Amino acid sequence: NSSFLRQSISPDSDAAKLLASPGTLNQSAPPVLAIPGFRNVPDQDFTIPGEQEKLAQALKSVRSQFGKVFNPVIAGKAQTGLEQISVYNPADPNIYLGAWGKATIVQADLAVNAARNAWNTWRHTSSQERSQYLHKVADLLETQRATFTAWIIYEVGKPWRDADADVSEAIDFCRYYGEQMVKLETQGQNRDLPGETNHYRYRSRGVAVVIAPWNFPLAIMAGMTVAALAAGNTVVIKPAEQSSIVAAQFFALLEKVGLPAGVVNFLPGKGEEIGAHLVAHPQVNLIAFTGSLNVGSQILASASIVRPGQRHLKRVIAELGGKNGIVIDSDADLDQAVLGVVQSSFGYSGQKCSACSRVIVHESIYETFIERLVQATRSVQVGQPTDPGSFLGPVIDQEAFQRIRKTIHEAKQSARLVLETDVSHLGGGYFVGPTIFADVDPQSSLAQNEIFGPVLAVIKAKTFEQAIEIANSTPFALTGGLYSRSPKHIDFAEAHFECGNLYINRKITAALVDRQPFGGYRLSGVGSKAGGPDYLLQFLEPVTITENIQRQGFAPLPEELDD
C-alpha cells in the first residue's frame, strides 16, 4: 500500500516526487501512525548502539547486586527469621542470584488480615486516585526498564528482546487498567425516569490473591496485581518460586509510589503450602491465577467450597495454557509462514503459553514446508540469554529440562525426527535446542499434551477442512494461527477455528494490551481476556441503586431538630 506503484494511481500523485531519490526528500519529520485510543509503549530497539549499551551496563550493574535476600512484606513490614530459598541462574546453575524468605502459614494469615484491614479504606479511594498510583508505577518501570530487563534475563533466562517485551507489557497493564477503571466509574449507566433514579455502579470484591507464573515474571504478575488494585481490591502476591526476585523488584516499586501499607502484601513461598492455604482462606474473595491445568483445576475445586466464616462465593480467574496449532494452507506464502512458525514455536524456548507446538500442513506442500522449516530453524542461535544475539536461552529449571528431554526421547519411538539441535557446547545450563518431529499422529501424546518447551510436532492434512479439524482436536483453545491467501479459507477459519486468539498470516505470540486482548477457553482457562475491556469486570461487584424521589418534603437533619 505504501509502494510508488500503488501511490501512482492516486489522482493526487506527483510523478516527480515518486521518482525522486529518497536522499533528496525531507526526512526531518517521519510520519506518525495516528491510532486513536490507548497507546502501547514501544519495545526497545537493540539495533541502536545506545540501547545495546544501556542494557549491557544494566546487566553488569545487576550482577553486582547478586546475593541479596528478599523477604515477605506484610502491611509494610519485612518478615525476617524465615527459611531462605536460594535462587540460581538457569543458564548457569553455578551462579547464585540471591534468596527469598519462605513464607509460612502464619505469614499467609497475617497477609490476608492486613489486606482485609487495608481494604476498608482502599475501597473508598476514587478510581482517579488509584489510577494515578498505577501511572506512577508505569513511569518508574520506564525509568528502570533496563534494570528490570536484566533481572528477567538472569532469573528466568529470557533473551534480550523477550525480556524487554515483558517490561513493555507490564507498563501497558498499569496504564490500561488504571484508565479502564476510571471509565467504568465515570461512565456508569443511569436510567432515570420521572419520579425514580436508577444507577448502575461497581464495588470492589475485597481481598485478591495473585498466584503468578514464572514465564512472564513481570508482565502477568503485574497485570493481575494492578487490575485488582485498579478495581479497589487489596492484594496478596504469591509469586512463582522460580521468579520471586523479579516479583520483589516490582513490589518495591509499589512501595515507592506510596501505596498505603497492607494494600499490597508480598508473600513468596511454596505453592503447595501457602498457595493452597490462601485459596482456601475464608477471607479471600478472589484468586487470579496463571499456570498449569493441574494446579488451576485444584484451585477451582478448593475455591468452590464455602468454609466456616465465609460470607461470599469466591471468584477465580485462571489462565491455564494450551496446545496451540498453526495451519499452513496449500497457497500459503512460505517465506512468511516459515518465519512465523519459527518465531511462534521457539521464542523463549517454547515457554510461552501462546507458543505454537503443532503445525498442521496441507499435504501438497508438506515436504517442501518441512525442508524449509528445518533449514530456517538451523539458523536460530541458542546461547546465553545475556548475549544479545541469542534467540533461545535455557528452559526454566532442572525439572523442566528433564521432562522435555524425556518427551523428546519418547517421541522418537513414534514420529520422524527431522531436527534435534546440538547444544552440548553450552555447558551446564538447562539448554534444550529446537526439536522438530514430522509425521506426528494427531491423537498422540506429542500432539495432545502440553510440553512447554522447544518441541514442535508437524502434522499432515489432506484438506484444509481436515487441517482445521485437527487444530481443534485438543481440549485446549488458547491461540491458533493460519497462513493462507484464500479469502474463503480465512473466512472458514474465523468461523470454525476454536481458540481465544486467532492470528492470520502472522506469528501467534506477542499479544499486545488493548490491541489483542489475550485469553482462551475450554481447558485453557476461565475468565475474560487480559488486557481487554472486560477484564476488570471480574474484579468488581456490579450494584444497582434505585431511589423513589416522589415524596413530600425531606426529613430534617439531627442538628436541625436541635435548633
Q: Which residues belong to the active site?
A: 319, 353
- DSSP letter, residue 530: B
Contacts of 403 (CB under 8 A, 6+ apart): 453
- CA–CA separation, 406 vs 429, rounded Å? 17
* Bridge-based pairing state of the strands 315-319 and 416-420: unpaired
Run of H or E including 209: strand 207-211
Q: Give the span between the Cα atoms of 155 and 90, in whole angstroms.
A: 7
- Range list of H helices, 382-454: 398-411, 445-448
CA atoms within 13 A on the CB side of 264: 30
Location of C-alpha cell 539448554:
431
Residue 347: CB partners within 8 Å, gap ≥ 6?
162, 355, 391, 392, 509, 510
Task: Enter the DSSP assignment of 190.
Answer: B
Buried b (16+ CB within 10 A) or exposed e, 430-460: bbbbbbbbbebebebebbbebbbbbbbbbbb
Task: Report the relative pairing of strands 315-319 and 286-290 from DSSP bridges.
Answer: parallel
DSSP notation for 294-327: HHHHHHHHHHTS--TT--SPPEEEEE----EEEE
DSSP, collapsed to helix, strand or coil, labels residue 542 as strand
Q: What is the DSSP string of 483-522?
A: E---HHHHHHHHHH---SEEEESS-S----TTTS-B--EE
